[in-house]
Chains A and B, each alone.
Chain A
């Protein structure tokens, strides 16, 4: 399970938690989010802009 961060506003999509408000169930992989996913907080960064935000690099 990884975390992905919005490079503009800092919103973090945590795969293990999902996002209840947006309708992404806990455990939904980032890759499985819709192609037109935008940052739920600022909406000005899209899926391809998000950066992986893991404590351990791999």
Chain B
């Protein structure tokens, strides 16, 4: 383990040892678990073995979250500067990028050439999509950073799930409007994940495209221009997927369609659980208060966090979007999910179960205090929710904390 001496502070010298330093290698190598199904199939000859990578994420990681529990330790502020400057941490997400290309290509080749049944191809396409969804998480970590290399790598890895507009949309759209009724990437109370997906996927695309078009307009360039960073990523997607199609044949059409949509679904799932029902208050001038720590749902489970570059320490991420994963902090008394993200993704698939688990938890948050005026409510469900939980009272429960 490496110790980090804090910058000189004669009164308070801090020797900080990051206990997760080498655990972050899990984020780098985890995408390769996608290939374990192929390995097990070769060993056993059973197509059921192809399910291993899917079971490993939803079942295995959720179980590990439950078994290994939470880690609430934070680096001391004095150590953060050195932690952020440490090249080791910076290179892990960059090196994760080729993993995602490798996973898609290997699984596609296997699906097209191994002679497995159509059911097997379907499982392989879903597996590739699930792990390419993890690629959006890699892009997320890289796309928030300030260096040109990291931002370029984010656009490159987004070519795998064919989601090139994500970084622009996420940074300029979602972070700015998070936990407001207008954000297509913040779920409303009473909104099922399916209804949410129909709003989030097209809404995110439109907003990302518009932000990039505006930037190019300021530069005096048309939207369809080689400098369009959304199109750069899509162009790489086109090269990759058309090459797979040319090399492997028509089976790639359904394979890649399922892969792409299921990769997007992973982001939809994350967006769904991260801000469900949370609402920023409007100041008297109509402007929304800054995003506060209580406007994100968190999970501090060790297992899923070391696979997701600390994505689940979501409040600190929204408070300080450019802060690197290794420095993100846990705070007590924040909105907390009852399981890690992967477990919650499964719960979200069954809306009545999701509402049963989350609605009371949402209303019990200290800043909500049971008042629907403090909640981002799906308009079509408002009458039913008000009948059940009482009419919105309004007032200034959170306004004072802004």
A-side residues, CB < 8 A to B, are: 8-9, 11, 21-24, 38, 41-45
Q: Which residues of A contact B318 (CB under 8 A)?
A: 44
Q: Is B399 an interface residue (CB 8 A)?
A: no
A45 to B291, CA, bound (A): 10
A22 and B176 contact, Cβ closer than 8 Å, known pairs A41-B146, A43-B171, A44-B290 = no
* Set B172, B217, B322: member contacting A9, Cβ < 8 A: B322
Interface string of B306-336 (1 = CB under 8 A from A): 0000000000001111100000000000000
Q: Which residues of B contact A42 (CB under 8 A)?
A: 144, 175, 320-322
Q: Which residues of A contact B320 (CB under 8 A)?
A: 8-9, 42
B171, B218, B220, B322 — which one has the most chain A CB atoms within 10 A of its CB?
A: B322
A24 to B215, CA, bound (A): 9
| Chain A residue at minimal CB-CB distance from B323 | A9
A44 to B218, CA, bound (A): 21
Q: Which residues of A contact B215 (CB under 8 A)?
A: 21-23
Q: What distance in Å separates the Cβ of B234 from its nearest Cβ neighbour in chain A?
A: 19
User: Are the C-beta atoms of B218 and A23 separated by less than 8 Å?
Assistant: yes
B-side residues, CB < 8 A to A, are: 144, 146, 171-172, 175-176, 215-220, 290-291, 318-322
Contacts A/B (CB < 8 Å), 9 sampled: A21-B215, A23-B216, A23-B218, A23-B219, A41-B322, A42-B175, A42-B320, A42-B322, A44-B318
A44 and B146 contact, Cβ closer than 8 Å, known pairs A23-B215, A24-B218 = no
Q: A-B contact count, CB below 8 Å?
A: 39
A29 to B162, CA, bound (A): 38
| Chain A residue at minimal CB-CB distance from B221 | A23
Q: What distance in Å separates the Cβ of A17 from its nearest Cβ neighbour in chain B?
A: 15
A50 to B176, CA, bound (A): 15
A24, A41, A44 — which one has the most chain B CB atoms within 10 A of its CB?
A: A44
A43 to B171, CA, bound (A): 6
User: Are the C-beta atoms of B218 and A43 separated by less than 8 Å?
Assistant: no
A8 to B172, CA, bound (A): 15
A38 and B218 contact, Cβ closer than 8 Å, known pairs A9-B320, A9-B321 = no
Q: Which residues of A contact B217 (CB under 8 A)?
A: 23
A43 and B321 contact, Cβ closer than 8 Å, known pairs A38-B172, A38-B176 = yes
| Chain A residue at minimal CB-CB distance from B145 | A41
Q: Which residues of A contact B216 (CB under 8 A)?
A: 23
B171, B215, B291, B319 — which one has the most chain A CB atoms within 10 A of its CB?
A: B171
A41 to B320, CA, bound (A): 11
B176, B319, B320 — which one has the most chain A CB atoms within 10 A of its CB?
A: B176
Q: Which residues of B contact A9 (CB under 8 A)?
A: 146, 320-322
A-B contact sample (11 more), CB < 8 A, given A21-B215, A23-B218: A8-B319, A9-B320, A22-B218, A23-B216, A38-B172, A41-B322, A42-B321, A43-B171, A44-B318, A44-B319, A45-B290
Q: What distance in Å separates the Cβ of B206 from its nearest Cβ neighbour in chain A?
A: 17
Q: Which residues of A contact B319 (CB under 8 A)?
A: 8, 44
User: Are the C-beta atoms of A44 and B219 separated by less than 8 Å?
Assistant: no
Q: What distance in Å separates the Cβ of B349 from its nearest Cβ neighbour in chain A?
A: 31
| Chain A residue at minimal CB-CB distance from B176 | A43
Q: What distance in Å separates the Cβ of A36 from its nearest Cβ neighbour in chain B?
A: 9
Q: What distance in Å separates the Cβ of B106 from its nearest Cβ neighbour in chain A?
A: 35
A23 to B220, CA, bound (A): 8
Q: Which residues of B contact A41 (CB under 8 A)?
A: 146, 322
A24 to B219, CA, bound (A): 8
A50 to B146, CA, bound (A): 18
Q: Which residues of B contact A45 (CB under 8 A)?
A: 290
